[in-house]
Amino acid sequence: MTIAVVRVGSPANLDALLPGTAEDPGQPGPGQIRVRLQASSLNFHDYAVVSGMIPTATGRIPMSDGAGVVEAVGDGVTQFKAGDLVFSTFFTDWNDGHPPSTAFTSVPGDGIDGYAREVVVTPENWFTHVPQGYSAAEAATLTCAGLTAWRALFVDDTIKPGSTVLVQGTGGVSVFALQFAKAAGARVIATSSSDAKLERMKALGADDLINYRQVEAWGPKVLELTGGVGVDCVVEIGGSGTLDQSMLATRVGGHVALIGVLAGFAGPVQTALLMAKNLRVQGLTVGSRAQQLDMIKGIEANGIKPVISDHFALADLASAFRHQEAGKHFGKIVVDI
């Protein structure tokens, strides 16, 4: 018996994403669960893997996010039963505490095979229950983007009513950060190169909007909007190309959550500005299973639902990434399995 999969070819590029089949993984052993996957979602990290920006093994099954239904459980499993709707954790070996030293070597779709397939058998701690009322497609958006935004605001920072947050762009992390920050009672400033997308951010609750194509020096503009004070937290997804503006936009003693590299992997840093403003620039890669469980509680308490831009079939995964590459989406792109 076989299942449908998609693999990364050699050399890795979107034209080399190869739909095919693999042997069914069979029944779960002790401590394991068998999950019939129903959805995944696209992240920049996944794009970096399938496009060859991040080296991976030839034949790797991509996609870090997965959600579906538990079909069977092995001996000793206590958290799940057949029929439960579940979604994956990003790090398979980070349950709680400090990040593991194994980095991405244990991340599905990167160091190990991911969720671009119909069925998986994994240890039970690789999944959690979905938030109440969520579909598989909705839950599949949370593994990477949702938890990254949650950690930036509530684990590495203490965003609360009256805080001010700046979010960059309108991808999955930024939209989640807007939703989470507004649920916490914060003021949110949103940036984008598209006025149409900024209007959609406004409809989701953004308080102030900046088109960075029209206002290239948006850091000083943020200071103006905040009476010269600056924001408490910037959700920084650009990288080196936008970091200087982010630091300018942040209050003295504030926090820049360094998440992405969309505008550059490396570059000069204004260390004098960093020191003068006593800033905390902190890199982060998603979060732990314990943080995911906290995020689920927060989602359920506030009734937050993800913004899904588009749906693609698993066999059309390459088309989904081309859509992402073109920047046509707002929020998350889901792959239906």
Confirm whether 41 is domain-assigned.
yes
pLDDT tens track for 150-163: 999 999 999 999 99
Residue 80 · residue 124 · CB < 8 Å:
yes
| Residue found by looking up tokens 């509680």 in the block | 297
Asked if residue 106 and residue 237 are part of one domain, the reply reads no
Average the pLDDT over each of 54-58, 59-63, 221-225 and give the range with the smallest value: 54-58
pLDDT given for residue 267 in this prediction: 79
- The DSSP secondary-structure symbol of 162 reads T
pLDDT given for residue 3 in this prediction: 97
Please list the residues that pair with 103 across neighbouring strands. none
pLDDT given for residue 120 in this prediction: 98
At 7 the three-state DSSP class reads: strand
Mean pLDDT of 229-238: 96
pLDDT at 263 over 70: no
By residue range, what is the domain housing residue 322?
A: 2-145+287-336
Task: Indicate the number of domains in the chain.
Answer: 2
Q: Alpha-carbon Rg of the chain, whole angstroms? A: 20
Confirm whether 84 is domain-assigned.
yes
Confirm whether 161 is domain-assigned.
yes
Mean pLDDT of 203-222: 97
Confirm whether 224 is domain-assigned.
yes
Considering the chain, what is the average pLDDT of its residues? 96
pLDDT tens track for 71-97: 999 999 999 999 999 999 999 999 999
Average the pLDDT over each of 146-160, 196-210, 265-279 and give the range with the smallest value: 265-279
CATH of the domain at 52: 3.90.180.10
Residue 40 · residue 140 · CB < 8 Å:
yes
Query: Which pLDDT band holds residue 264 (cuts at 50, 70, 90)?
Result: low
pLDDT at 262 over 70: no
Residue 57 · residue 104 · CB < 8 Å:
no
Question: What counts of helices (H) and strands (E) characterise the chain?
Answer: 10, 15
As a whole number of angstroms, the distance between CA 31 and CA 231 comes to: 46
Asked if residue 207 and residue 317 are part of one domain, the reply reads no
Structure tokens at 132: 């109440």
Confirm whether 231 is domain-assigned.
yes
pLDDT given for residue 17 in this prediction: 95
As a whole number of angstroms, the distance between CA 168 and CA 189 comes to: 9
As a whole number of angstroms, the distance between CA 256 and CA 258 comes to: 6
pLDDT given for residue 269 in this prediction: 85
pLDDT given for residue 109 in this prediction: 97
| Residue found by looking up tokens 């938030």 in the block | 131
Mean pLDDT of 274-299: 97
Query: Exposed, middle or buried, 228 (CB in 10 Å: 0-12/13-18/19+)?
Result: exposed
Asked if residue 21 and residue 43 are part of one domain, the reply reads yes
Asked if residue 278 and residue 295 are part of one domain, the reply reads no
Average the pLDDT over each of 74-83, 101-110, 197-206, 308-317 and give the range with the smallest value: 101-110
Mean pLDDT of 304-311: 98
CATH of the domain at 194: 3.40.50.720
Asked if residue 29 and residue 99 are part of one domain, the reply reads yes
Mean pLDDT of 217-236: 98
Query: Exposed, middle or buried, 56 (CB in 10 Å: 0-12/13-18/19+)?
Result: buried
- Could you tell me which residues come within 8 angstroms of residue 165 by beta carbon, excluding any fewer than 6 positions away? 153, 159, 177, 178, 181, 186, 187, 188, 189, 231, 232, 233, 234, 235
Please list the residues that pair with 108 across neighbouring strands. 112
pLDDT at 266 over 90: no
At 73 the three-state DSSP class reads: strand
pLDDT given for residue 328 in this prediction: 87
pLDDT at 225 over 70: yes
